[in-house]
Amino acid sequence: QSVLTQPPSMSGAPGQRVTVSCTGSSSNIGAGYDVHWYQYLPGTAPKLLIYGDTNRPSGVPDRFSGSKSATSASLAITGLQAEDEAEYYCQSYDRSLSVVVFGGGTKLTVL
Amino acid sequence: EVQLVESGGGLVKPGGSLRLSCAASGFTFSSYSMNWVRQPPGKGLEWVASTISSGSYTFYADSVKGRFTIFRDNAKNSLYLQMNSLRAADTAVYYCASENCTIGDCFYDFWGQGTLVTVSS
């Protein structure tokens, strides 16, 4: 059971907009800690997509965006492409556990 | 180009030991805190251990404290994870990851491709 809750799977058609949610609590996201997002393709290195809630590293397309509100965060992907089919993980810090925490991951399928 | 390449994974019996290595290139390794993160089969990511840039401070998840040791050799641009008293629950793909922090909050900006550790009799 992950501290941060994500939907296990989602799907969308090419060109659509999808939003992956990440729900935490008052001891992590709600405490003001940043949320970061990673894209993972099995067999490859996870890739940082969003850091500090809303920031994109150099090279990440602006189709990817992050937001945060209260005890939840979201990763939005617009203009969905076949290459976006991957697993997405959120990450934050939990002050009660005093440890970095991850979501359980969301497998995105592009139809 | 930043590269992190893990090695050393494999099949080990419960109670056994294994040492993972991570070779870093493309950045000033000695300036960054480094971490090990693992992903058990069918499960999510779990932070395992971290070490600051000098290696003088280390931190561990409760699940591995006392059994795993993270250390680094900045002269060789390498990170290590010595794993002792291995359990079936330690079965996972292990990733090394560089750490970046902004105003106290930290994230992992570069990752390796991982090395699989299987603990089974």
Q: Are B3 and B25 in contact (CB under 8 A)?
A: yes
Q: How far apart are CA B5 and CA A45, in angstroms?
A: 10
CA distance A78 to chain B (A): 23
Give the tens place of pLDDT for each residue, A4-36: 999 999 999 999 999 999 999 999 999 999 999
Give the distance from residue A89's alpha carbon to the nearest chain B alpha carbon, in angstroms. Answer: 8
Query: Over 90: is that where the pLDDT of A109 sits?
Result: yes
Average pLDDT over residues B30-54: 94
Exposure b/e, B7-44, CB count within 10 A at least 16 = b: ebbeebeeeeebebbbbbeebebeebbbbbbbbeeeeb
> A25: which 2 tokens?
């609590």
* Strands (E) located in chain A: 9-12, 18-23, 36-40, 47-50, 64-69, 72-77, 86-94, 99-102, 106-110
What pLDDT is recorded for position B58?
96
pLDDT score at B104: 62
Per-residue pLDDT of A50-69, as tens digits, reads 999 999 999 999 999 999 99
Q: List the 72-111 stretch of A: residues with Cβ below 8 A of B.
A: 89, 91, 93, 99-105
The set of residues, in sequence order, having a beta carbon less than 8 Å from that of B35 and lying 6+ positions away, is: B47, B48, B49, B50, B51, B96, B97, B98, B99, B108
Would you call B44 an interface residue with chain A, using a CB distance cutoff of 8 Å?
yes
Instruction: Flag if B106 and A93 touch (Cβ within 8 Å).
Output: yes
- The pLDDT assigned to B103 comes to 73
Share of chain A above pLDDT 90, in %: 94
Nearest residue of chain A to residue B45 (CA atoms): A102
> Could you tell me the pLDDT band of residue B102, with boundaries at 50, 70 and 90?
confident
pLDDT of A76 higher than 80? yes
pLDDT at A2 over 90: no
Query: Do A45 and B110 count as a contact with CB atoms less than 8 A apart?
Result: yes
Q: How far is A33 from chain B (nearest CA, A)?
A: 7
Picking from B105, B111, B113 by the largest number of A CB atoms within 10 A of its own CB, the best residue to mutate is B105
Percent of chain B exceeding pLDDT 70 equals 99
Average pLDDT over residues B84-112: 93
Residues of B in contact with A46 (CB under 8 A): 45, 95, 97, 108, 111
Q: What is the pLDDT of residue A104?
A: 94
CA distances (Å), B92 to each of A75, B109, B118, in order? 26, 21, 7
CB pairs under 8 A between A and B: 59
